[in-house]
Every structure is written in C-alpha cells, then in structure tokens.
Amino acid sequence: MLFLKKKLFKKKYVRNEIFPDEILAESQNRPEFDVAQFEGRLTRPISTASLIGIIFTALVIIVLFASRAWFLQVAQGSTYADLATKNTLRSTPLFATRGLIYDRNGMELAWNIPGPDGDPDVPRRAYATTTGLSQTLGYVQYPSKDSAGFYYQEDFVGEDGVEKYFNDLLQGRNGLRLLEVDAQGNIQSQNLVEPPVPGQNINLSIDSRIESDLYRNIESVAVDHGFNGGSGIIIDVHTGEVIAITSYPEYNSQIMTDKTNSAAIKSFLSNPQNPFLDRAINGLYAPGSTVKPYVAMGALNEGIIDPLTKILSTGSISLPNPYDPSNPSIFKDWRAQGWVDMRDALSVSSDVYFYEVGGGFENQKGLGIDKLDQYFKLFGFGEALPADSFFAGAVGTVPSIAWKAVTFPSDPIWHIGDTYHTAIGQYGFQVSPVQMVRAIATIANNGELLNPTILKTSTPSIERSINLPSNDFQVVREGLRQGVTSKLGTDGALNVPYVAIAAKSGTAELGVTKQTVNSWITGFWPYDNPHYAFAVVMERGPVHNLIGAAAVMRYTLDWMNTNTPEYFK
C-alpha cells in the first residue's frame, strides 16, 4: 500500500514539474518590452512537417510560373508577338473604286464621288438623275464599321439590278494600309502594303434616253387613266440586246444607296404599288389576245386550218349544256367580226376564230389544250429563262389539264370552255413582259428564241431555233401588220408615217367582276426587215378606259422619231 502511494505521488510530481524557463519568466511582459516584436514571449521552433509543406508549395508555384512563362515565350511566342505588334500597327482597307456603268452610247449612269468628311476613305456611289433607270441599275450598300472605327464589312454590296448582278466585276479588290498608332490611337505613320484594284467598267445595252422616255410615258398614262402600274421593254431581235426596260413605279437608287432620307425610304416600303417590284421581269399578267399569234402558228403547223379559210363570227358561239338544255354555254367575241380568215382574225383580234382553231367547234377542228400548251411553251411561255441570266425571274403559268387538277381540286375536270379561254390568253394564263417580248421577237426574226442581254454586244445568245415553216411566220407577220394598217384593225394607234409597225394588242379582264383589265401592246419594226421588238403592259386599269399600252408605245415612237431617229433607219 505504501508502495502504491509512493508511485502515485511520483507520477503527480513528474506531471507538474516546473522548468527553469518558467521560473525565470513573469506572467506578464515587462513594461519596457516591445510587445509588437513579441519581446518577452515564449516561442516554439517550426515543425519539420510544416517546413516541408512550405517548401513543397513554393516549388509548385515556381513550376506553375515557369511552365506559363514557357508557354507564353516559347510555345505561343510568335502569336503573342503579332498581337503585341498589332497593338501599335492597325491595318485598314484601301477601298477600291467601284466600276462605272455606262449606257450603250457611253453616257455615265453610275460613278464614284469622294466620301464625306466623316468617312473620307469610302467613295460614294452617284447615279444619273434620269427617271426610269433605278430598277435597271439597282443600288449598293456601303462598307460598315463599328463604334471603334473598325470595318466589319469591307466591301460594297450590290443590292439590286445591275449593281447586284455584276457585283463581282464592279467591286474590284480592296488594298491594305498599315497605320502606326500610339496608346491613345493617334496615327504616327502609315504605310501602303497592297494597292487597291479598281472594279471593271461595264457598258449596258440600254439607251438611257429611250428608257427614260418610255418610263415617263408609262407614268403619264398610269396617273391620267387610273392604272396601278406598268412596264415596257424594247429588244434587238437579232442580238437580244435590251434597248430599254423599265417599270413604274420605281424607287430611287441614290436614296436607297445613301440611306440618309428615311422618310423617302419609308414611303417606298409602304407604297401599295410596290416600287421594288421589277414588273418587266417579275411581274405576271394575263396576256389576253397577245397570245393569238402563237395559236395561229400552232394551227398552221398542225394543218388545223388553211390561212385563207374563213370562219364566221356573229359575236359569239354557244355550246349545249347537257345539264340544262335551256341554258347553253355562250362564249362571246368582243364584237361581231363577220367572215374572217387568219390574217383578218389577227388584225381584228377575233375571239370566235381563236376559240374554234384553239378548241374546235362544229366542223372546225381545234388544236386542243395539249397542243396549245406545247406551242405556248415552244415560244417561251411558262418556262424559266436561264438561271444565270440578268432577266431570270417569274416563270408564269400556261393552263393545262395537270395545272387545273392541282389548282382546282374541287373541279379538276378539263372542259372545252377552259380550252377556249386559254386560246385567247385568259383562264389563269400568266406571263411576264420579258417572256412576251422574247416571243414577239421570235415572230419577227423567223424563229430564233433569244436570251436577252443587258450588256452591249453583237453576239446573240439563242435559246433555241423554232423550226416552223417560214411561210407560217410570214402569214402571222402579215396579220400583225394588217392590224395596224386596216381600218378595222385593233392597233391603228401605231400606224405612224415614219416607220412600218406590226403589232398585236390585248386586253385581259381581271377578277370575277371584270371591272379592271391589263392593257397590252406587242410588236416589232420595221415590218419589212424587223430589227426591234417591244412589249408594254399597263396593269389593272378601268375596264372602260380606251387609253392604255398602245398609247404609251405611240408616245414613245413619236419621241424617238424626233430624238433618236437612228432606230428607224
């Protein structure tokens, strides 16, 4: 027991042993000690584990910094050197001057002027103020830069017309200039690295004088006689060169390019007459009687009728109605024509004649809808122009059995009346003025269907040769000339003394009420040796109006006789 007590006492003594440092130290620092320097405090040495941890952390940090330095200086050294250089050298484009646009006589239609003070590096595009050219020329969009002054779009972009179609030729290639700038962006020096290459100039086939006058005449007739719009085109029947092509109403190329007149641009966009629609290329219209020459060509070639065979027009024909014998189907002529042969029928535009040769009646055999469809397409209706053509646009519609089945699923059966209406250019028939002028030019040049061109050239582009008898073409041409010279002819307005015109007019009734019409005139001159063909359409005018497309062409011919008589020689 005594031993155990001694042992416990000994353990307690060892646990409470006082070391010499504690004996000498006071419980508080002496007043003269510097407490901030820990004077008078007892400290313990850093442990080995802590020291190893500190050394390891330092080594990791050193390795990370060293690897990053290697990446920046060695692996990506050249890249960052370039970036550093560009902090002081700024590249800026030297804009190429856009190619000039001329008409066939060398008149400037689009050119370049110096840029404004706020953007002197970008030349501005200027356009002739002549009316009627905007749909042909189009407009451009200028290069654009951000708020820091850097160009994010460095090219001029053609947005419509010739500017768009020939953009690659006109825009040239921009050059490059290096600017040395200080930290504040002030230019210290500059150096030309690559000079710009100017765009190519182009010579159009159009005569801007004629195009402008044609536009003014279309505008005048539209405003004075209540038409919604109109368009016209004149073409060389040998080369396919377009001498004039215009569409009313039009936008303004200068305003659309500069984009500084927001009120005018808003008025273009909100105009219900749609000045952005190029009616000559993309406008589609019921052709009316202007398709009769092509029905005549088909009837002659198929032996449907002899050109001298006469058909009586008493003002209408009627077909029995199997469902209601007391209510026959009546198909009217626009007037009683009497006995007419093919030349007469073209001259007076007899509907009854073309009902019968188109669809047949009693003892007169007709072409039928399939043959009508075949000959209309032979002359370019309902077919697209080549996709790379400046004039590639709306295709239009030639009515057919298949077309009706799709368009009128509730009444898909083709009726003889549908054939009659198709033969006189109604019943869903839709053509563009470009298609119409190609077709009439083919009548004039004896069967060469041309691809029109907007560039001045002497080399024609022929889509195909229509291998029909020359005598058939001549019969049709004689009928068209008779329409101008005969007292009963429908085209006497073009019987001018200074050149022999052959023509075919057409009036297509629109809508269920038939209170509005499209007014057409097509033709060529001179009759004996055709050189130029034309097509004019006046869109959606009053049905009882007697002034239309023929008046437009007459005004234009009279102006040309005075101002451009070389076209009649």
pLDDT tens across 65-80, in order?
887 777 667 666 666 6
pLDDT of residue 189: 62
pLDDT of residue 178: 72
Q: Is the pTM of this model over 0.85?
A: no
Direct distance between the N- and C-terminal alpha carbons of the chain, in angstroms, rounded to an integer: 154
pLDDT of residue 326: 80
Compute the mean pLDDT over every residue in the chain, rounded to the nearest whole number: 88
* % of the chain with per-residue pLDDT over 90: 67
Judge whether residue 299 has pLDDT over 50. yes
pLDDT of residue 509: 84
Judge whether residue 42 has pLDDT over 60. no
pLDDT: which is higher, 15 or 246: 246
In the chain, what are the domain boundaries? 33-77, 89-143+152-203, 208-269+276-568
Nearest-angstrom CA–CA distance, 480 and 522:
10
Closest CA to 377 of 346, 402, 356: 402
Residue 179 to residues 13, 147, 173, 186, 187: CA-CA distances in angstroms? 89, 18, 20, 9, 6
* % of the chain with per-residue pLDDT over 70: 85
pLDDT: which is higher, 180 or 346: 346
pLDDT tens across 277-292, in order?
999 999 999 999 999 9
The encoded tokens of residue 487 equal: 């007292």
pLDDT: which is higher, 252 or 23: 252
How many CB atoms are closer than 10 A to CB 488? Answer: 15
pLDDT tens across 442-451, in order?
999 999 999 9
Task: Say which residues have a Cβ less than 8 Å from residue 4's Cβ, sequence separation at least 6.
Answer: none
Judge whether residue 454 has pLDDT over 50. yes
Which amino acid, residue 523? G
Classify domain 89-143+152-203 at the CATH topology level: Penicillin-binding protein 2a (Domain 2) (3.90.1310)
Question: Which stretches of 226-328 are DSSP H helices?
Answer: 253-258, 262-270, 279-282, 292-301
Question: Which stretches of 271-400 are DSSP H helices?
Answer: 279-282, 292-301, 342-348, 351-359, 369-378
| Residues comprising the chain, all counted | 569
How many CB atoms are closer than 10 A to CB 222? Answer: 22
> What radius of gyration do the chain's Cα atoms show?
43
pLDDT: which is higher, 87 or 531: 531
Nearest-angstrom CA–CA distance, 455 and 535:
19
Residue that is written with structure tokens 């407009």 in the block: 139
The pLDDT confidence band at residue 4, using thresholds 50, 70 and 90, is: very low
The pLDDT confidence band at residue 24, using thresholds 50, 70 and 90, is: low
Nearest-angstrom CA–CA distance, 254 and 273:
20
Q: What sign for the dihedral angle of Cα 312, 316, 320, 326?
A: negative
Domain range 208-269+276-568, CATH class: alpha beta
* Distance from chain centroid for Cα 139: 11
pLDDT: which is higher, 97 or 146: 97
Nearest-angstrom CA–CA distance, 51 and 522:
104
Read off the pLDDT of each residue in 41-63 and give the average, rounded to a whole number: 76
pLDDT of residue 487: 93
pLDDT of residue 10: 47
Read off the pLDDT of each residue in 91-114 and give the average, rounded to a whole number: 92
Nearest-angstrom CA–CA distance, 415 and 427:
12
SS (H, E, C) 88-134: CEEEEEECCCCCCEECCCCCEEEEEECCCCCCCCCCEEEECCCCCCH
Closest CA to 291 of 431, 419, 463, 183: 431
pLDDT of residue 52: 83
What values do phi and psi take at 217, rounded to 5? -70, -40
Judge whether residue 36 has pLDDT over 80. no
The yes-or-no answer to whether 89-143+152-203 and 208-269+276-568 have a common fold is no
pLDDT tens across 389-430, in order?
999 999 999 999 999 999 999 989 999 999 999 999 999 999
Read off the pLDDT of each residue in 508-523 and give the average, rounded to a whole number: 88
> β-strand 108-113 against 229-236: which pairing, if any?
unpaired
The pLDDT confidence band at residue 37, using thresholds 50, 70 and 90, is: low
Contact 502, 477 (CB under 8 A): yes
pLDDT: which is higher, 59 or 355: 355
Q: What sign for the dihedral angle of Cα 369, 539, 206, 197?
A: negative
How many CB atoms are closer than 10 A to CB 260? Answer: 9
Nearest-angstrom CA–CA distance, 492 and 478:
14
pLDDT of residue 321: 82
pLDDT of residue 57: 83
pLDDT tens across 365-377, in order?
999 999 999 999 9
